[in-house]
Amino acid sequence: MLTKRIIPCLDVKDGRTVKGINFEGLRDAGDPVALGTLYAKQGADELVFLDISATTEERGTFASLVKEIAAECTIPFTVGGGINSIGDVDRLLKAGADKVSINSSAVKNPDLINQLAKEFGSQCIVLAIDARLENDYWLVYTHGGKRSTDKELFSWAKEGQLRGAGEILFTSMNHDGTKNGFAVEALNEMSKLVTIPIIASGGAGTMSHFAEVFKEGGADAALAASVFHFGEISIPDLKSYLKENHIAIRN
């Protein structure tokens, strides 16, 4: 049985880790390199660093910060934000990232997924999808949740897999930062439609939410931010809890 993964997410803006609710109202959560190093020591399985303003500011992702993270961090990490080309990915992987996350650029140019998978391999291409439930329809958003699109969550996830994405990182904008639990029903449906790993994001508030998303949501990994950044849940305690609930988890 494949073990489930716990992934702290660090949204980075102006060199600092930030966190908001429903993609709004950002507050400072600390230095991203220091936080990432701490989470690695605590037993996180992977990390995700998202340059959340790179796309809206129309600039590349923070390659210099990636080098700092790679020098200090002992676990795999994914980098996203402002990635638009083979050259962008090549620069970030050479700087030390293990995977890259693409979102807005993939919606704008879906063939980018094919190009990146062919050039670097599906194993390092994560398709990030931000979606909001509106009138029983999961609508995909881009540009940090600021722009709606004509894409629907499940059809886009399936297309992403067909084009060569190695993982799906699905963030429910309705659940983001609310600490009321993940979008379990949507995740369960997605898990039946794709065969690549799904990372659940948005809504973690208690340790039981993690157990629920693994048992009922079919997620392969659970990503969270504020509960880790502000000391509400410790990674060692979370892993002990999940093991007690018979969920296969890494030590």
Q: Which residues are catalytic?
A: 11, 130
Distance CA 44, CA 251 (A): 9
Q: Find, among 150, 148, 187, the residue nearest to 171 by Cα.
A: 187
Residue 38: Cβ within 10 Å count: 15
Q: Find, among 214, 226, 147, the residue nearest to 179 by Cα.
A: 226
Three-state secondary-structure class, residue 197: coil
Q: Are 35 and 229 in contact (CB under 8 A)?
A: yes
Non-local (6+) Cβ contacts of 38 within 8 A are: none
Burial label for 107, CB within 10 Å (0-12, 13-18, 19+), is buried
In the numeric block, the tokens 């009138």 are attached to 135
In the numeric block, the tokens 């693994």 are attached to 214
Three-state secondary-structure class, residue 66: helix
Q: Are 4 and 249 in contact (CB under 8 A)?
A: yes
